[in-house]
Amino acid sequence: MANISRRHVLAGLGTAGFASSMSTMSGLGFNNAWAADTGGYKAMICIFLKGGMDGADTVLPYDQASYDQLRSVRTGLFNSYNFNSPTSTRNRANLLRMSLDNAGDFGGREFALPQELAPLHSMFEGGDLAVVGNVGPLIEPTTRQRMDNGSAILPRRLFSHNDQQSTWMSFGVEGVSRGWGGRFMDQVVASAPNQNRIFSAISATSNDVFLAGEDVTQFKVGSGGIQEPNLYANRGVLGYNDGDDAARDKIRAFLAKRDFQSRSLLEQDISNSTAKAVDNTEQFAQAQENATPFATQFPGTRLAGQMRSVAETIKIRQFLNVSRQMFYCSTGGYDTHSNQANSIAGRHNELAGAIAAFREAMIEIGEWDNVVVFTASDFGRTVIDNGNGTDHGWGGHHFVAGGSVQGRRLYGEIPFADVDSDSYTRSRGRLLPTTSVEQYAATMGSWFGLNTSELRASLPNLNNFNSSDLGFMGGVTS
Amino acid sequence: MTIMRTRSAAAILAASLMVAACGGGGGDSSVPPGTPVAGGGSGGSGGGGTPSEPASKIDTELEATRFLARATFGGSKAEIASLNGRDAADWLASEFSKSTSLTLPTLAAQPRDSEGRLQSNRVDTLYWDHIIGSNDQLRQRMAFALSQIVVYSDAADNDQLMRAYYQDILIRHAFGNYRDLLEEVTYSPAMGEWLTYRGNRKGDERSGRMPDENYAREILQLFSIGLIDLNMDGSAKLDAQGQQIESYSNDDIEGLARVFTGLSWAGGEFFKRPQDGDIQQMVMYPEQHSELDKTFLGTTIAAGTGGDESIRIALDTIFEHPNVAPFLSRLLIQRFTQSDPSPAYIENVARAFESGRFTAQGGRNFGSGERGDLQATLAAVLLEPTVFDEPSDAGTISSGKVREPILRFAHWARAFDISGLDAYNERRLADTRSSDSALGQQAFSSPSVFNFYRPGYIAPGTNAGDQNITVPEFQIVNESSSVGYLNFMTDFAFDRASQRDRDIDTYKPDYSDELAMVDDPAGLVDHLDDLLTGGRMSDVEKADIVDIISTVEIRTNSAENTAADQEDMVQTAVTLVLNSPSYAVIY
């Protein structure tokens, strides 16, 4: 709480007075340990895979025993992949084996990615990508014994899409109003007075809770570039008469006006929102005038379009006045209750193609070491199939990519598919997470520049876990 | 019926005795026809005695405009004039008796290619023509509301006939009973495909296969009872420790999942889709239906019970849950009148749902007396007296509903009595999903079964959000959608949207009344305010618009130029009012 009250002190001082008051505040006992490191430039990019990605069909077991075990508990799904066919992507011979630098941590067990994720496999082999296994929302380290005897404190409304999306983003069920992406940026703007709040948290997709902070709210970039209101920005609408330019100026001012003395709260919010749109898109469009197009070609998918917008935004970061940025992208189609063998391939292609193009674009502008892309999803899915699909689970496997990622390694666990073991809840092979979302977030947060107190202020249950750094961002495992 | 109950056996027994005693009226009713619910509850302006004039009496054109914005896809000038002076309850009664207009017959009659296929997006464009042009406005508006509750989306399947067949289920049951609606939805091929239980097989011990749980989960969470136990006013019930009570567990889902096995295409085989399977209710394939017992929500359906019988029992059990009335009531209120309904309002509507009756202040009765009656429920939503209250003279107003973009576009078309009602000719109406360049919303095309926005959404960084006011529609508002909406509306208001065949002027607004007012800019803006917002725009905003349109240059060098510039002036005024917060918010 201390940092929040401090932030309000800062808000009261205003940004102009910040530098001169810094020494005074130290004198008042404010500790430097509160200040996030906001030097240089860093960005985090969340890719939320809506619907619940099936971890077991994304990072597959490769050693024969583990592969056979998985196949034996999801017969229907493997059959729908026609896995014995020489061309099947789930034929063990066609899986892309991952060369783990930390193979010793897994005994003889080996892992692989399907061909649709080939671009990610290359990044893994090249050390730019890591896998974090069996991540999910947890309040505290949780065992099946404690679940069975009722002593475990569990996240609420497990297996419900919207609630688990919310829990991944905000550590509470739907209705929680602050997400950890926004909270991280709250910490940043409190420590970096020159950081432009407007362009601190940027969504390339829907208005989800992830980017909502106390002081920071999201800016939305469209996938087709920034649009401005044609009514005043396009002379073709009203016409070319002399008087029309004057009308256009007035229209612009009118749309940017926030107060029409309406007594309706909802009307006030809509006025504010339109005004914000006019002002912010104009600022963004001006910054973008400095940009040249990327040589990198992005695929034509929904996710790649969003990642292109993210890349374009990073490219103009110096004109947006930001040293840290949190981005949010999302794509759907992962709720594979049915027809999984046909549908997940397209989703994987989209994911891998978008991340690979983004990497290329970041290398093009020399920012690859300064960004980390990570996946998130509602939940993993049941290891036991329903014939040709899978149902809602809990723990899942995730990717982190970036020039600073300690890649070519697997962090966390990918349990053996013995669904009766303690690695799973009592029914249908729903993985009990062994790494919490908060540990996953904290590891990137440390790299982002947040200190321990700031991480704890953003991640309410982090203290319940022994380790707050999983090591995949090159930090000291703790 | 093979049914064993562990929780509500007494209630069921009581209900069946009541039905028998009353001589029936449908086997689904678990609540006897009760005392009519007085609108507004006791103590309200209309409670108790006979008021001289019911709150729902429409006394001005402004009130008519506002009411039609809540109950229809927006009032035309003629409808506004004809409603003025009537009780809205009488208007409702006449809407309930209008004949039903369906969508599948029109779609099926559209031109096909040599392989019998429809042109793409026909179902989307016909939907615009249908909601804008249909005479049975209340029924269509209710069907649109239901489409955002029992959500089917064509995001995963572009079978247009299947979607139209589903649209018609909602249209046909819009004034019926929710239990019947739930059953037709359950057997519909669209829902079966969308929530993946078409072709769902019973579990198999040998391979370990288990039934698909998708529909079992979403019918409970989204279509009927929700996640937590509710009081009649929509608030959460709390246990002895003050905690919310989850209304079902994962075990209930696994039990209920067994019920929704064995359904597939009619007239074909389980795995093979026949011709026209997409426009017929699915049928049960007994050999694919689970023979195990099915336990959920305190009910156990005995092992060996047949598929259709199991579904009937399951839907009865779900429908009887006390959550259904408050859960649906809140959702329906949000679709018509209030973004953040008050507990008292929810309870009034929930009681109408429970009793199947609603009595308007003027004495008119609605509903059959059967639980789940949607006429009674809808009457309670729209005739709620507090909705007609004028806000007091001072203070902030936090009531009202933010209208979704689809309603705002349709309202423009109806207010200006557009000619050329052929959306297929309008390229931009084929797909309005993009928030960057269109409305950010398209009927029956939400991204997931969770609709376009969530009913409990509280927008961060807003005044409403600071007061914990839910505004679902704000979930699709952001910088790019604000600009996208304005640009989309500009194109139509200026009649400059791109058309397939430029020789046919479709979606053409009739601004003749407005063009006659160009010499009086203040009068023109007042008129547009009355017509589109029911007179809710502030004086400041109207003065700003008057100033803007007075600045638009009117050339006098030729009659043609003068006419063109006057048209610009009117179109600018219309566009700015369509973008007004008062047009978005109805109260």
Tell me the per-residue pLDDT of A205-246, one tens digit each, with 9 for 90 and over: 999 999 999 999 999 998 877 889 999 999 999 999 888 999
pLDDT value at residue B56: 97
* DSSP alpha helix (H) spans, B195-320: 214-221, 250-259, 307-320
Start-to-end CA distance of chain A, whole Å, equals 24
B36 to chain A nearest CA, in Å? 34
Q: Which of A147, A265, A308 to mutate to test the interface with B (most CBs of B within 10 A)?
A: A265
Question: What mean pLDDT do residues B402-419 have?
Answer: 98
Q: What Rg value do the Cα atoms of chain A yield, rounded?
A: 24
CB A202 within 8 A of CB A328: yes
DSSP A265-324: HHHHHHHHHHHHHHHHHHHHHHHHTT----SSPPPSSHHHHHHHHHHHHHHTHHHHT-SE
CB–CB of A274 and B549 under 8 A? no
Q: Poorest-confidence range of A284-288, B6-10, B228-232, B543-547?
A: B6-10
CA A214 to each of CA A93, A177, A460, B476: distance values in angstroms, whole numbers, following the listed order: 51, 9, 15, 20
pLDDT value at residue B45: 41
- Residue A309's pLDDT band, with cuts at 50, 70 and 90, is very high
Asked if the C-beta of A342 comes within 8 angstroms of chain B's C-beta atoms, the answer is no
pLDDT value at residue B393: 83
* A111-113 and A96-97 beta bridge pairing: antiparallel
Top-confidence residue, B30 or B119: B119
CB–CB of B479 and A428 under 8 A? no
Asked if the C-beta of A228 comes within 8 angstroms of chain B's C-beta atoms, the answer is yes
CB–CB of B214 and A338 under 8 A? yes
Q: Which residue of A has its CA nearest to B251?
A: A427
Pick from B227, B478, B496: CB nearest A160:
B227
Which three-class secondary structure state does DSSP give residue B276? coil
Query: Counting one residue from A and one from B, how many pairs have CB atoms under 8 Å apart?
Result: 262
CB B277 within 8 A of CB B270: no
Residue B57 has pLDDT above 50, yes or no: yes
* DSSP alpha helix (H) spans, B134-267: 137-147, 160-173, 178-187, 189-194, 214-221, 250-259
Q: Which residue of B has its CA nearest to A220?
A: B479
**Model confidence pLDDT, tens digit, residues A414-441:** 999 999 999 999 889 999 999 999 999 9
Q: What is the ipTM of this complex?
A: 0.90
Q: Among residues B62, B53, B124, B120, which one has the least CA distance to residue B89?
A: B53
- Residue A319's pLDDT band, with cuts at 50, 70 and 90, is very high
Residue B121 has pLDDT above 80, yes or no: yes
pLDDT value at residue A225: 76
pLDDT value at residue B51: 54
**Model confidence pLDDT, tens digit, residues B288-316:** 999 999 999 999 999 999 999 999 999 99
CB–CB of B544 and A162 under 8 A? no
B463 to chain A nearest CA, in Å? 6
Give burial (CB, 10 Å; 0-12/13-18/19+) of A300: exposed
pLDDT value at residue A316: 96
pLDDT value at residue A475: 79
Percentage of residues in chain B having pLDDT higher than 70: 91
Q: Which residue of B has its CA nearest to A158?
A: B250
Question: What mean pLDDT do residues A178-193 have?
Answer: 96
Asked if the C-beta of B211 comes within 8 angstroms of chain A's C-beta atoms, the answer is yes
